[in-house]
Structure 1
């Protein structure tokens, strides 16, 4: 099965290299996406551009793909489910939850010169980055791609209630399944999902870097179940 891999802020498709290799060995076809404005050199890309790129990958996939979103890109995966509810077998959300309709996509940090640069590690101290050593932190910060303002501040628009029919798996890295369930029950978008599962992974916020083989097994299991 095709498994579309959408990395979060400041990352391009290469963030999935180790996961993709493991998925291939498990019999799946990984499709890591490099989004407009996050790896193609453009700073004028918008959220709509990124959504269009994800939908193009869905439309060109073999069969009904599994769509994986990491961190902020959980919203992109969910927007794909909203736009293509009949074409997606399952959505897997790694370390994040989709933004509510009508809200900005990811205006979390200061914008400078039309982009949102990586803010350094201070905002991620604690469980998010506890499993990253100094070498990994330095490499990730050096490779971080500033996110265009048109992406970060783009407004999320959800229109099709059939998205709630698409099965969802929440992969819980720096938080527990119990915490995720509590947050969702407090009124998160996912509270209306009809088929919602939770799986734990003992990692920080970037398991594609620190636990790629384990993450690949979880993604393959979600795809196989679908």
Structure 2
């Protein structure tokens, strides 16, 4: 199975290294991407949007021969959902790593500060303690040192979706900072935070208790969870139980 991996804000393709290695070992073909405009100068990315990032990934999907699984971490989940919206007949499953889909007109995070025309890593005070779980000082230094800038309209511009067949694409949520019962309760209550997820017809939740960056705090466990989700999608496509 071809697997496209979209990192969250401030990260690039290599952040998926533990997952890509595990996918390859399991016989899958990983395609980690760096979201369009990440780390680029302000003059180049002033007009770059979520839709542009999604279109860039869709172009990759269109080069692949069969069904694909799309994996999105954090803000990359919004891009993954837009890819499923654009190609609902090609995406076998979307895997959200401590993230989820956002609906048409919603934004990822309009509160992130823009500095000199880009969105830099905002510092650790911008995150709650549950998001920082498992991040040692060394891991924090590693993430902060590798952080790249994000185009402003990707953070604060609206999601644009067009095809309700996206709700037929099965989803796995690897939930790191929220227990499954809490997430399910929010969906049942119709909470705006999970309104789009609540419209998806097939949602699997896998708990991976740690902070918001499991690729750093629990890389082997994250890799195993993604491999399991992809394997399930491959078996479903093949008609196996």
- Residue 222 of structure 2 corresponds to residue 220 of structure 1: no
Query: Residue deviations 1:177-217, cap 9 Å, x none?
Result: 11221222233111121111111112211111222221122
The residue correspondences of 1:15-54 to structure 2 (distance < 5 A) are: 15-39=15-39, 42-44=44-46, 45-54=48-57
Q: How many residue pairs were aligned?
A: 226
Q: Secondary structure at the match of 1:147?
A: coil
1:198 equivalent among 202, 205, 208 = 205
The whole-number CA distance in structure 2 between the counterparts of 1:6 and 1:186 is 29
Q: Closer, same or farther in 2 for the Cα pair 1:40/1:29, shift >3 Å?
A: farther
1:65 equivalent among 65, 68, 75 = 68
How much is the aligned-residue C-alpha RMSD, in angstroms? 1.5
The whole-number CA distance in structure 2 between the counterparts of 1:185 and 1:78 is 21
Q: Secondary structure at the match of 1:208?
A: helix
8 Å contact kept, 2:107–2:158: yes
Q: TM-score, normalised by structure 2?
A: 0.88
Q: TM-score, normalised by structure 1?
A: 0.94
Q: Which runs of 4+ in 1 moved over 6 A?
A: none
Q: Secondary structure at the match of 1:115?
A: coil
* Displacement of 1:43: 3.3
The residue correspondences of 1:184-195 to structure 2 (distance < 5 A) are: 184-187=187-190, 188-195=195-202
Aligned to 1:156: 159
8 Å contact kept, 1:34–1:40: no
Query: Residue deviations 1:110-144, cap 9 Å, x none?
Result: 11221111110112241111201111101211211
Alignment gaps of 5+ in structure 2? 234-241
The residue correspondences of 1:1-226 to structure 2 (distance < 5 A) are: 1-39=1-39, 42-44=44-46, 45-187=48-190, 188-226=195-233
